[in-house]
């Protein structure tokens, strides 16, 4: 019997017009939150507009026409937060808006804080500040510039930049190679009228998931449903699956140079294990043993034994079916590091897995999964990801599946792994 | 075993505490319903403590920069192997961090808390450092230092501290330099360990769904009942009130200039709630001047002079104090000039009283929100504790702080001679 997973499945409050409202009712947090996720297929023609939308929308609503007005309102609501942006999960492009606010039992003066926060968020999403029926030209121009800076600013964080670039190189000519924030050259043609039309497409046709988390009453949840049922909705966009397998690959080597002190080495692989397949938990265990923490082969061999790196880990991109191994090393140590990494991959395929590695990995995953229930954002992200992957696990059922994974299952997962691309970010003077 | 309990009704929180005969203080903040349990064993010893007189000696000991952080790495090594493996077997996540003022060893777990907790109490007290493992660690920490060299956010921040401070070790990177760590050896590591890892210089904290009495019993029975020891005499250089240099600039592989504008505070020697009051006042003043609800933010953002990366940061410690604002800008110098103009205007006219009240209201909510996360609670508690206060004292500060005091601090903290700027420009 599973105990401790008290943050159970979200309750589906309502489902209509391509909109689903979920509620996770719990009193354990000091705050409550409301999350909106609009989903689109990741595609060149929409990606830049999708990224620009939340940036322009956060500037103001009819009731709070400037960002300053919104900020003042948030401060008055006991430091409530509001944020929005875009992200990709597999080949889905997701536009999210959220607000988090003190739960009513901690509000000293009887303010109906849920109603006020909902009003603010719903206003920003459905009643943006417009001029002559279109987004304000000044907001549009400023946010185009900010988005350009954002896109070009990818290089500033070398660690995440190298991992993203490795995955993009692996997925050339597939939608997944598209960067979440879009393309600088696609910004110029976007007009206020065009973006407003796109906004109406988002509001009217993108599948929408809403999550309410915290101390939320049924009446409050009904209120959300009531507001959403007032939205004019058309035919909902059909979303496609992301997963792509690739059983053979000639390893490509991609080297990029930049003015850096430390080299970033990434090895990208296809997992050939779909997120909805029965084999997926074994892949998760595989990743944990290989590079998912201090007990992992990569950490112990690349960092602790060879003293080559401060960090070396592996991570899964669940939806598309990718795994990336990432490490920061001396620019001259590329071959040495690759050799050690490849030895670990070989070990995994041969099933050279100790009892300690197996047990420590499963325990660490259990700790990780249980810990997710202590964070509203993580609870929401977990269930959103389930719906995108087309799976129906909760924290408890997922854990049970992981506990049943055997070494043979892990070895089978290892044998499906196909190395695809070696990406190296290195210094310009290097003679590689 | 004498333990005590304080209830903070407004926050719906309780703090349990216990003092061990050795001088070690232990605390528990319960979080019913949370699955994650977190514990930390922290010493009041950080990267700035590089000159001191060892109790019982008369000569001053000077140690290489970065040694507190190096020691943090080495404590994971035990006679019977790496302690990380033992935590892994228990399914928990051990970690540690070093800041200017403290070194913190911690773990989070969801099961078998008692075993994890005993392991934490045990390994931090039993270093096993060999000359070979010291050499091996130089490679790992060397890569950690190089990683930060490529991190523009880190660089722009530490360059600012280098500009602000002439002598105080807060100007030195926490991990030291490749050169300074090359001079670290086993003997010096033990010397630092024996000086600063005495129980009376340390605290233990547990946060989560745990039983306070049980935690205190484990502390009581695990830690030897030795006498408390006199505090270590730490030596910090005299630092002038004015900044060391007004401007520092460096080029890195970034897409847009990044900047930090800092004011160096001259608020030293005070301990306790006065320190928090000053910190909150500086935060309020800075946010009133340039926060998201300020006129200046709206103007600069509208002109494309700043973007959403713009933010503020305030640090008030016994030894040093500074406030920082910064982000990305195509023209950092203009941002500085505009900020200075707004500052002078506010000094003449006074700040906005109703905005100040609104912000204090927001601070109360933000204070409460941190109780959502066991890590945030632990982090806040420990950072405040070594200043001689409790994180719950913030609630008092929000009740007692006055608009008049914030205005006073505006004049006291934001002086023209205490301003410095750091800029990172694209290559």
pLDDT digits (tens, 9 = 90+) for A366-384: 999 999 999 999 999 999 9
Residues of B designated as active site: 72
Tokens of A89: 């999960």
In a domain, A247, yes or no: no
* Mean pLDDT, residues B343-348: 97
* pLDDT computed for residue A428 by the predictor: 83
Give first-to-last CA distance, chain A, whole Å: 56
pLDDT for residue B411 is more than 60: yes
Helix (H, G, I), strand (E, B) or coil at B324: strand
Q: Does B426 touch chain A (CB under 8 A)?
A: no
Which ipTM value was assigned to this complex?
A: 0.93
Percentage above 90 pLDDT, chain B: 89
Distance in angstroms (rounded) separating the CA atoms of residues B143 and B178? 9
Check whether residue A325 and residue A388 sit in a common domain. yes
Q: Do the Cβ atoms of A29 and B372 come within 8 Å?
A: yes
Angle between helices A113-126 and A218-229 (to 10 degrees): 20
Distance in angstroms (rounded) separating the CA atoms of residues B317 and B336? 25
Tokens of B58: 């008369």
Q: Which pLDDT band, with edges at 50, 70 and 90, does B268 fall under?
A: low
Tokens of A299: 């950490």
Distance in angstroms (rounded) separating the CA atoms of residues B21 and B228? 7
pLDDT for residue A430 is more than 80: no
HSE (side-chain half, CA atoms, 13 Å) at A261: 15
CB-closest option in A4, A149, A367 to B91: A367
> Residue A196's domain spans which residues?
11-229
Please give the mean pLDDT across all residues of chain B.
Answer: 95
* pLDDT computed for residue A291 by the predictor: 96
CA distance A358 to chain B (A): 10
Q: Does B230 touch chain A (CB under 8 A)?
A: no
In a domain, A1, yes or no: no
* pLDDT computed for residue B267 by the predictor: 67
- Number of domains into which chain A is organized: 2
Q: A193-199 — which CB contacts under 8 Å span 24+ positions? A: A193/A134, A194/A49, A195/A49, A195/A52, A195/A53, A195/A56, A195/A134, A195/A135, A195/A140, A196/A130, A196/A133, A196/A134, A196/A135, A198/A46, A198/A49, A198/A50, A198/A53, A199/A53, A199/A57, A199/A128, A199/A135
The torsion angles phi and psi of B52, rounded to 5 degrees, stand at: -160, 165
pLDDT for residue B380 is more than 80: yes
Distance in angstroms (rounded) separating the CA atoms of residues A285 and A291? 10
Angle between helices B332-349 and B273-290 (to 10 degrees): 110
Angle between helices B403-413 and B353-369 (to 10 degrees): 90
pLDDT for residue B190 is more than 70: yes
pLDDT for residue B35 is more than 70: yes
Check whether residue A216 and residue A269 sit in a common domain. no
Q: Which residue of chain A has the CA closest to B11?
A: A106
Q: Which residue of chain A has the CA closest to B290?
A: A68
In a domain, A58, yes or no: yes
Q: Do the Cβ atoms of A79 and B147 come within 8 Å?
A: no
Q: Which pLDDT band, with edges at 50, 70 and 90, does A3 fall under?
A: very low
Residue B90: partners with Cβ closer than 8 Å, 6 or more residues away:
A363, B109, B111, B112, B115, B116, B119
* pLDDT computed for residue A8 by the predictor: 65
Per-residue CA distances from B94 to A393, B76, B77, B86, B127 (Å): 28, 9, 13, 10, 16
* Mean pLDDT, residues A331-337: 95
Higher confidence at residue B272 or residue B124?
B124
pLDDT digits (tens, 9 = 90+) for B66-102: 999 999 999 999 988 889 889 999 999 999 999 999 9
Q: Does A230 touch chain B (CB under 8 A)?
A: no
B255 contacts on A by Cβ (under 8 Å): 149, 152-156
Length of chain A in residues, anyone? 432
Dihedral angle, C-alpha A13, A15, A21, A25, nearest 10 °: 20
Q: How would DSSP label each residue in A123-152? A: HHHHSB-EETTEE-HHHHHHHHHHHHHHHH
Check whether residue A402 and residue A264 sit in a common domain. yes
What are the DSSP E strand ranges found in B60-102? 61-62, 77-78, 81-82, 93-98
Higher confidence at residue B337 or residue A8?
B337
* pLDDT computed for residue A6 by the predictor: 53
Q: Does B88 touch chain A (CB under 8 A)?
A: yes
Check whether residue A44 and residue A133 sit in a common domain. yes
In a domain, A262, yes or no: yes
pLDDT digits (tens, 9 = 90+) for A312-327: 999 999 999 999 999 9
Check whether residue A202 and residue A274 sit in a common domain. no
pLDDT for residue A112 is more than 70: yes
B36 contacts on A by Cβ (under 8 Å): 367, 370-371, 374
Which residues in chain A (143-172) have CB-CB distances under 8 A to chain B? 145-146, 149-150, 152-159
Q: Which of A203, A205, A175 is nearest to A93 (CA)?
A: A175
Select from A195, A229, A263 the last residue of a domain: A229
Residue B9: partners with Cβ closer than 8 Å, 6 or more residues away:
none
Check whether residue A286 and residue A384 sit in a common domain. yes
Maximum C-alpha span of chain B: 66
Q: With beta carbons less than 8 A apart as the criterion, state whether A430 and A262 touch.
A: no
Domains and CATH numbers, chain B: 3-234 (3.30.830.10), 247-426 (3.30.830.10)
* Mean pLDDT, residues B28-55: 96
Check whether residue A296 and residue A168 sit in a common domain. no
* pLDDT computed for residue B376 by the predictor: 96
* pLDDT computed for residue B269 by the predictor: 58
Q: Which pLDDT band, with edges at 50, 70 and 90, does A432 fall under?
A: very low
In a domain, A3, yes or no: no
Q: Which residue of chain A has the CA closest to B372?
A: A29
Residue A204: partners with Cβ closer than 8 Å, 6 or more residues away:
A231, A232, A233, A234
- Lowest-confidence segment of A126-135, A278-287, B232-241 by average pLDDT: B232-241
Q: Do the Cβ atoms of A374 and B36 come within 8 Å?
A: yes
Q: Which CATH number is A357's domain given?
A: 3.30.830.10
Check whether residue A260 and residue A388 sit in a common domain. yes
* pLDDT computed for residue A109 by the predictor: 85
Q: Does A374 touch chain B (CB under 8 A)?
A: yes
B74 contacts on A by Cβ (under 8 Å): none
Tokens of A85: 């942006």
* pLDDT computed for residue B191 by the predictor: 96
Tell me which of A68, A264, A369 to substitute to probe the interface with B (most B C-beta atoms closer than 10 Å). A68
Check whether residue A149 and residue A291 sit in a common domain. no
Which residues in chain A (263-282) have CB-CB distances under 8 A to chain B? none
Distance in angstroms (rounded) separating the CA atoms of residues B28 and A220? 35
Written in H, E and C, the secondary structure of B226-281 is CCCCCCCEECCCCCCCCCCCCEEEEEECCCCCEEEEEEECCCCCCCCHHHHHHHHH
* pLDDT computed for residue A1 by the predictor: 34
In a domain, A77, yes or no: yes
Tokens of A409: 């299952």
CB-closest option in B34, B36, B364 to A78: B364
Report CA A35 to chain centroid distance, whole Å: 14
Q: Does A119 touch chain B (CB under 8 A)?
A: no
Count other Cβ atoms within 10 Å, centred on residue B13. 19
Check whether residue A277 and residue A412 sit in a common domain. yes
Helix (H, G, I), strand (E, B) or coil at A402: helix
Element housing A32 (H / E): strand A31-41
Check whether residue A64 and residue A142 sit in a common domain. yes
Please give the mean pLDDT across all residues of chain A.
Answer: 94
Q: Do the Cβ atoms of B427 and A307 come within 8 Å?
A: no
Q: Are strands A208-214 and A19-25 parallel, antiparallel or unpaired?
A: parallel
pLDDT for residue A9 is more than 90: no
Q: Does A330 touch chain B (CB under 8 A)?
A: yes
Check whether residue A174 and residue A36 sit in a common domain. yes
pLDDT for residue A431 is more than 60: no
In a domain, A159, yes or no: yes
The torsion angles phi and psi of A248, rounded to 5 degrees, stand at: -135, 145
pLDDT for residue A7 is more than 90: no
In a domain, A244, yes or no: no
pLDDT for residue A110 is more than 90: no
* pLDDT computed for residue A68 by the predictor: 98
Q: Could you identify the residue written with the tokens 């009704």?
A: B9
């Amino acid at each position: 019997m599973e105990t401790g997973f008290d943050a159970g499945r979200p309750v589906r409050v309502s489902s209509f017009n391509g909109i689903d409202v979920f509620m996770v009712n719990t009193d354990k947090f000091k705050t409550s939150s409301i999350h909106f996720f609009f989903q689109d297929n990741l595609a060149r023609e929409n990606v830049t507009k999708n990224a620009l939308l939340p940036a322009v929308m956060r500037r103001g609503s009819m009731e709070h026409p400037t960002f300053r007005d919104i900020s003042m309102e948030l401060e008055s609501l006991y430091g409530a937060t509001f944020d929005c942006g875009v992200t990709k999960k597999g080949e889905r492009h997701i536009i999210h808006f959220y607000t988090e606010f003190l739960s009513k039992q901690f509000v000293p003066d009887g303010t109906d804080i849920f109603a006020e926060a909902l009003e603010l968020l719903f206003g920003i999403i459905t009643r943006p500040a417009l001029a002559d029926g279109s987004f304000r030209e000044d907001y549009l121009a400023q946010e185009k510039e900010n988005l350009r800076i954002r896109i070009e600013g990818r290089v500033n964080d070398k660690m995440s930049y190298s991992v993203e670039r490795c995955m993009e190189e692996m997925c050339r000519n597939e939608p997944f190679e598209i960067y979440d924030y879009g393309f600088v050259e696609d910004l110029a043609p976007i007009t206020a009228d065009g973006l407003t039309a796109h906004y109406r497409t988002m509001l009217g046709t993108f599948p929408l998931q809403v999550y309410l988390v915290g101390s939320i009453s049924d009446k409050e949840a009904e209120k959300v449903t009531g507001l959403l049922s007032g939205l004019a909705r058309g035919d909902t966009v059909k979303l496609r699956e992301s997963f792509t397998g690739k059983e053979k690959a000639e390893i490509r080597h991609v080297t990029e140079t930049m003015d850096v002190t430390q080299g970033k080495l990434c090895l990208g692989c296809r997992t050939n294990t779909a997120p909805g397949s029965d084999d997926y938990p074994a892949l998760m265990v595989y990743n944990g043993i290989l590079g998912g923490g201090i007990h992992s082969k990569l950490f112990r061999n690349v960092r602790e034994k060879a003293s080559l790196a401060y960090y070396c880990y592996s991570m899964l991109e669940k939806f598309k079916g990718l795994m990336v191994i990432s490490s920061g090393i001396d620019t001259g140590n590329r071959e040495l590091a690759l050799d050690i990494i490849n030895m670990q991959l070989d070990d995994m395929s041969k099933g050279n897995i100790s009892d300690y590695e197996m047990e420590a990995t499963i325990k660490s995953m259990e700790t990780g999964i249980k810990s997710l229930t202590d964070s509203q954002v993580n609870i929401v992200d977990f269930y959103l990801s389930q719906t995108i992957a087309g799976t129906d696990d909760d924290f408890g059922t997922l854990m049970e599946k992981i506990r049943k994974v055997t070494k043979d299952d892990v070895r089978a997962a290892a044998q499906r792994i196909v190395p695809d691309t070696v990406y190296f970010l290195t210094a310009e003077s290097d003679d590689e | 075993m004498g333990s005590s309990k304080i209830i903070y009704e407004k926050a719906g929180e309780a703090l349990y505490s216990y003092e061990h005969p050795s001088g070690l203080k232990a605390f528990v903040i319960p979080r019913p319903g949370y699955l994650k349990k977190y514990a930390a064993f922290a010493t009041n010893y950080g990267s700035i403590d590089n000159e001191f007189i060892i109790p019982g000696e008369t000569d001053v000991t000077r140690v290489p920069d970065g040694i507190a952080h190096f020691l943090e790495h080495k404590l994971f090594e035990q006679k019977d192997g790496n302690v990380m493996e033992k935590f892994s077997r228990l399914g928990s996540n051990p970690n540690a961090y070093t800041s200017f003022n403290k070194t913190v060893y911690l773990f989070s777990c969801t099961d078998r808390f008692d075993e994890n907790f005993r392991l934490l109490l045990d390994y931090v007290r039993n270093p096993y450092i060999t000359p070979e493992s010291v050499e091996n660690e130089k490679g790992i920490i060397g890569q950690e230092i190089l990683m930060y060299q490529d991190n523009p956010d880190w660089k722009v921040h530490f360059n600012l501290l280098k500009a602000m401070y002439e002598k105080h070790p807060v100007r030195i990177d926490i991990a030291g330099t490749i050169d300074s760590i090359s001079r670290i050896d086993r003997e010096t590591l033990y010397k630092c360990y024996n000086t600063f890892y005495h129980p009376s210089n340390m605290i233990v904290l547990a946060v989560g769904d745990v039983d306070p009495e049980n935690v205190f019993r484990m502390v009581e029975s695990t830690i030897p009942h030795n006498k408390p020891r006199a505090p270590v005499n730490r030596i910090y250089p005299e630092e002038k009130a004015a900044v060391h240099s007004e401007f520092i600039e460096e080029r890195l592989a970034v897409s847009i200039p990044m900047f930090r504008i800092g004011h160096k505070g001259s608020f030293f020697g005070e301990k306790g709630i006065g320190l928090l009051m000053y910190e909150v006042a500086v935060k309020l003043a800075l946010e009133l001047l340039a926060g998201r609800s300020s006129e200046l933010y709206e103007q600069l953002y509208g002109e494309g002079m700043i973007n959403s990366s713009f933010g503020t940061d305030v640090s008030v410690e016994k030894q040093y104090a500074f406030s920082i604002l910064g982000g990305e800008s195509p023209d950092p110098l203009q941002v500085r000039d505009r900020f200075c103009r707004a500052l002078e205007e506010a000094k003449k006219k006074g700040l906005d009283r109703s905005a100040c009240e609104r912000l204090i209201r927001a601070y109360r909510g933000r204070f409460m929100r941190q109780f959502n996360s066991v890590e945030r609670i632990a982090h806040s508690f420990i950072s405040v504790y070594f200043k001689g206060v409790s994180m719950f004292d913030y609630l008092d500060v929000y009740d007692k702080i006055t608009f008049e005091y914030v205005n006073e601090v505006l004049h006291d903290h934001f002086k023209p001679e205490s301003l410095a700027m750091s800029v990172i420009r694209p290559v």
